[in-house]
Amino acid sequence: MDVKRAERVSKAASGYDPSRRHDAGEIDDGDIRSRVQQLTMRQQRFERSVAKQLELDAPGLEVLDHLISRGPATPTELAHRIEISTAAMTLVLNRLEDRGHVRRDRHPSDGRKLIVTASEDAAADAERLVAPLIDEVEAQIAAMSAQERATVATFLDGLIGAYDRSTLS
């Protein structure tokens, strides 16, 4: 597939319209770095939208995402995951539990610990909000050749590494 055709297919399939950007005209559309920036901004906007619809703050959304995608966890594990104190995690879990998004039960093998689980309703609500985006991403991937997927995967792996190296731990 030639480059021009690939761009047309990508833009048509994704609904991408440079004129809809908040900074339209300021960034060269051929600049990969600017596209990564635009993707990052849209990801953040999407997360804010999901959080608003689920009536969550950012830490609550991150915890709920972790519980839905990886399964039940202890409050301490969740605190480490989103890099907040266990005391702050207690407040996050209180808010999530008050809204019916999670439940806390005794750990099955160690009754001294708690295990946090996403509620079925919260998982269903999150799925309803996120599924359309996942479907579109899957369609974009399916439209690529194996070579294109390998190239994109290599590029994304490089970006992931750059973020990891640039983030204080």
- Per-residue pLDDT tens digits for 9-31: 455 444 555 555 545 455 565 68
Domain count for the chain:
1
> Which domain range does residue 151 map to?
28-166
CATH classification of the domain holding 154 = 1.10.10.10
Is 94 within the bounds of a domain? yes
Letter string b/e over residues 120-148, b meaning 16 or more CB atoms within 10 A of that residue's CB: eebbebbeeeeeeeeeeeeeeeeebeeee
User: What parts of the chain have a pLDDT lower than 70?
Assistant: 1-30, 169
| pLDDT in the model for residue 110 | 85
| pLDDT in the model for residue 148 | 97
